Amino acid sequence: LLQLFRPLDVLGWVYRTIRQGLIDMAQMFRLIDTPVEVADLPGAPALLVRRPTVVFDNVRFGYDPDREILHGLSFEVPAGAQVAIVGPSGAGKSTIGRLLFRFYDPSSGRILIDGQDIRHVTQASLRQRIGIVPQDSVLFNDTIGYNIAYGRSGASDAEVMDAARGAAIDRFIAGLPQGLDTEVGERGLKLSGGEKQRVAIARTLLKDPPILLLDEATSALDTRTEQAILATLRNVSADRTSIAIAHRLSTIADADIINVLHEGRLEEQGTHAQLLRHDGLYADMWQRQAAEAIEPVLAAE
Ligand code: ATP
């Protein structure tokens, strides 16, 4: 009897394997479908930017249909203002950046730049108007000049050096054996975290976008480097609409508006002083981070 059932067993295994294969295929197609979701509308015009106000209007979004991450988020970034997004880990801060860059579309609600729904304009024009200074800048295995010029093809050496000056990395470059032609990256000169970030800032300056998205590094730079980079970023952000996604509050305390996000909802909003007076989540986070900054000093004593 056992002999008789063995082939059936094998058949069952084949059936299960094929079925699993179909499920995997379905998942694969869901992935492949993703870019289609954010395709340009036929005949979509380019984004027109004059004074770029950025508006999140009742935005709902989840990477997975059954797990919503942003639950009807609304906030505004006035033209030329510096707005920060803070909140505990997993609150949805980086997701806001990904939606603004249109890697995904909200499931409902709208994101407007200068009054235009970003779903109605070409992605190329949208991404051209937003400069990102990312957490961890990736450098190409090429010259430092190429790495900066990548911000705008066809830029002259003089323009590249101008951008380098704005990012305060010009003197570092001038001290390199081959200046702008020095090879950097895995196969060339290894740059420090701070230097890499300055290359990214120079690249962004060359691109000269009216909107800036600053995704703050989680890996801490030493305090002096961080303060110097912050000063540079402040100069770069002046006159631009900027959104800073921050993990450490010390870096955004002087923002015009601070949005405190908690579990995909806007929990508090205001300036640093207003939020401290409010004595809520922000004030809590501020005190905790201040205590963490003092701890190593106490431990050393
Ligand atoms: P952190 O401060 O830790 O960087 P965050 O506030 O930036 O956190 P997000 O990265 O926006 O948080 O993530 C919000 C939620 O979305 C998290 O629960 C995370 O697990 C989930 N998430 C993020 N990216 C994806 C993804 N690609 N697919 C599925 N879920 C994701």
**Interval 39-78: pLDDT, tens:** 888 889 999 998 899 999 999 999 998 999 999 999 999 9
Report residue 19's pLDDT band, with 50, 70 and 90 as the boundaries.
low
Quick one: pLDDT at residue 25?
47
Q: Measured from the CB, is residue 137 less than 6 Å from ligand 1? A: no
Residue nearest to atom 30 of ligand 1 (CA): 63
Report residue 284's pLDDT band, with 50, 70 and 90 as the boundaries.
very high
Report residue 33's pLDDT band, with 50, 70 and 90 as the boundaries.
very low
Using most ligand atoms within 8 A of CB, pick from 95, 285, 289 the residue to mutate for ligand 1: 95
Provide the mean pLDDT of the chain.
85
Q: Measured from the CB, is residue 211 less than 6 Å from ligand 1? A: no
Using most ligand atoms within 8 A of CB, pick from 31, 63, 85 the residue to mutate for ligand 1: 63
Mean pLDDT value across residues 69-95: 94
Residue nearest to atom 22 of ligand 1 (CA): 63
Residue nearest to atom 9 of ligand 1 (CA): 92
Q: Measured from the CB, is residue 63 less than 6 Å from ligand 1? A: yes
Residue nearest to atom 3 of ligand 1 (CA): 89
Helical spans, DSSP H, in the chain: 2-37, 93-100, 123-129, 144-149, 157-166, 170-174, 193-207, 223-237, 272-278, 281-300
ipTM above 0.95, yes or no: yes
Question: What is the Å distance from ligand 1's center to 66 Cα?
Answer: 15
35 has pLDDT over 90: no
Question: What is the Å distance from ligand 1's center to 219 Cα?
Answer: 17
**Interval 218-271: pLDDT, tens:** 555 677 777 777 888 888 888 899 999 988 888 888 899 999 999 999 999 999
CB 225 within 8 A of CB 153: no
Residue nearest to atom 15 of ligand 1 (CA): 90
216 has pLDDT over 80: no
202-238 exposure pattern, b = at least 16 Cβ within 10 A, e = fewer = bbbbbbebbbbbbbbbeeebeeebbeebbebbeebbe
Question: What is the Å distance from ligand 1's center to 143 Cα?
Answer: 34
Question: What is the Å distance from ligand 1's center to 88 Cα?
Answer: 11
Report residue 140's pLDDT band, with 50, 70 and 90 as the boundaries.
confident
Instruction: Tell me the β-bridge partners of 77.
Output: 54
Rounded Cα distance between 88 and 257, Å, is 18
Q: Measured from the CB, is residue 259 less than 6 Å from ligand 1? A: no
pTM of the model: 0.80
Q: What percent of the chain has pLDDT over 70?
A: 83
The three-class DSSP label of residue 292 is helix
Residue nearest to atom 4 of ligand 1 (CA): 89
